[in-house]
Amino acid sequence: MKLRRSMLFVPGANASMLSTVFIYKPDSIMFDLEDAVSLREKDSARLLVFHALQNPAYKDIETVVRINPLNTEYGLLDLEAAVRGGVDIVRLPKTDRPEDVHELEAHVERIEKECGREVGSTKLMAAVESASGVINAVAIATASKRMVGIALAGFDYVMDMQTERGDGTELFYARCAVLHAARYAGIDAFDVVYGDVNNEEGFLKEVDLIKKLGFNGKSLVNPRQIDLLHNAYAPTEEEVEHSKRVVAAAEQAERDGLGVVSLNGKMIDAPIVNHAIRVLQKAQASGVRK
């Protein structure tokens, strides 16, 4: 089971962080060539990321590169560096329409062929950051077979909506729309960053909300948030024990030729069994909540 709970942003121009960030063990590392890099450092950051991707230290961790939009002078060069460097996933910012994904996919395929990389091996992820992107979320999420995820980017979105970050009310519709698009497309959904890194209580409150909504995980801006997030997403011992009993009861029912079985007076049907199996898979992959 591939977990994508934590996607840690790393500024592409920071050689020190690029050299050490793998030690924090997020589920995915996202090298940022967009907002975190000043205009005059775009070329140097692109080369740093190109070579960092080929560093053996990143062999066992999922790598993501956030390129600049393709309608800028940097976007296509960033994409060349990412695909040729061997990135697992390209994250496209400011995705407003499915055509943005189609354009990206065409370039990725061309670069894969040019550099001898297996066609289709580069996966894609779209970040929606505007009302237009949210409205088109389903079309974006289903725009390519390469799509593995869709992310909501909060700052630009609330600007576009003429509001500001607050208690989450301002993101409610966008979160639900992006999440439904992801589930419809069968891909992962990522929530916005939580920028107040010293506010653990606020961070955990937001994590609790997005976990209940159904997000796979969250984009992170500080390594300190990784363990907090992973622990919050891990199943509790009680959930694991209950899931084991559910699965055991279902297996017994199958051996007995029964379609439906009850556990402690409650009916167990297929969705409940599937949920229990997912809990056990998560526990195996992430451990139990501390």
Partner 1 sequence: MKIVKEALAGTLESSDLLVKVAPSPTDTLEVMVQSEVIRQFGEQINKVVRETLEKMGVTAGQILVDDKGALDCAIRARLQAAVLRGADCNKIEWSRLS
Task: Give me the residues that bind partner 1 (CB under 8 A), please.
Answer: 15-16, 18-20, 43-44, 47-48, 50-52, 54-55, 77, 80-81, 84, 115
| CA–CA gap between residue 230 and residue 207 (Å, rounded) | 10
Count CB neighbours of 252 within 10 A: 11
Least separation in angstroms between residue 27's CB and partner 1 is 22
Least separation in angstroms between residue 33's CB and partner 1 is 13
Nearer Cβ to partner 1, position 55 or 236? 55
Nearer Cβ to partner 1, position 154 or 223? 223
Do 194 and 224 touch, CB atoms closer than 8 A? no
Q: What is the DSSP string of 224-281?
A: HHHHHHHHHHSPPHHHHHHHHHHHHHHHHHHHTT-S-EEETTEEE-HHHHHHHHHHHH
Q: Residues 19-45, buried b or exposed e (16+ Cβ, 10 A)? A: eebbebebbbbbbbbbebbeeebbeeb
Nearer Cβ to partner 1, position 115 or 285? 115
Least separation in angstroms between residue 274's CB and partner 1 is 43
100 marked ligand binding residue: no
Nearer Cβ to partner 1, position 47 or 258? 47
Least separation in angstroms between residue 74's CB and partner 1 is 12
Nearer Cβ to partner 1, position 115 or 159? 115
| CA–CA gap between residue 41 and residue 45 (Å, rounded) | 6
Least separation in angstroms between residue 16's CB and partner 1 is 4
129 marked ligand binding residue: yes
Angle at Cα 86 formed by Cα 80 and Cα 92, nearest 5°? 55
Do 216 and 189 touch, CB atoms closer than 8 A? yes
34 marked ligand binding residue: no
Q: How far is CA 15 from CA 21, 29, 30, 84, 120, in A?
A: 10, 15, 14, 19, 30
Contacts of 267 (CB under 8 A, 6+ apart): 260, 261
Nearer Cβ to partner 1, position 48 or 268? 48
Least separation in angstroms between residue 83's CB and partner 1 is 10
Binding residues for substrate: 66, 129
Residue numbering of the annotated binding site: 66, 129, 156
Annotated binding-site residues for Mg(2+) read 129, 156
